[in-house]
Amino acid sequence: MDLYFLDTNATIWLYQGELEYFDKQILTIMEKHDLYISPMVTLELQYLYEIDRIKKSGDKIVSELYKSIGLQVHNIPLTVLIEKALTEEWTRDPFDRLITTHAKLEDAYLITKDKTILKNYKRAIW
């Protein structure tokens, strides 16, 4: 069974109902499959909240998406995630590195519009 992870921006757009950011193929995938995020997405959402880039805290966004669409936080031991992320040298962004590594460890698709991730992770889709 294929897993579909959302990156942070995709999570924000979905939460805010900004579906125009997604193309039809991605919307179809999101309607047909369970969606997951790495716990690192929740942490990045919190950082964005703390610097006033978004209006709700990370845990509130994730909780509301769980209630509305069943979004799940996919857990993995942090030590495993960090160990594998050490080999991903294509970005200096710690969140992109950890979120992508998490999807990679699960051989999951990662729904993202980030061009750097799309270029460096073969299962990144948009």
**How many whole angstroms separate alpha carbon 108 and alpha carbon 63?**
22
Residue 52 has pLDDT above 90, yes or no: yes
Contacts within 8 Å (CB) and 24+ apart, 47-50: 48/8, 48/12
Q: How far apart are the first and last CA of the chain?
A: 19
Q: Whole-model pTM above 0.75?
A: yes
- Count structural domains, the chain: 1
Determine phi and psi for 16, rounding to 5 degrees: -80, 0
Structural domain span for residue 31: 4-125
Return the CATH number at 46. Answer: 3.40.50.1010
Residue 1 has pLDDT above 90, yes or no: no
Instruction: Output the pLDDT for position 92.
Output: 95
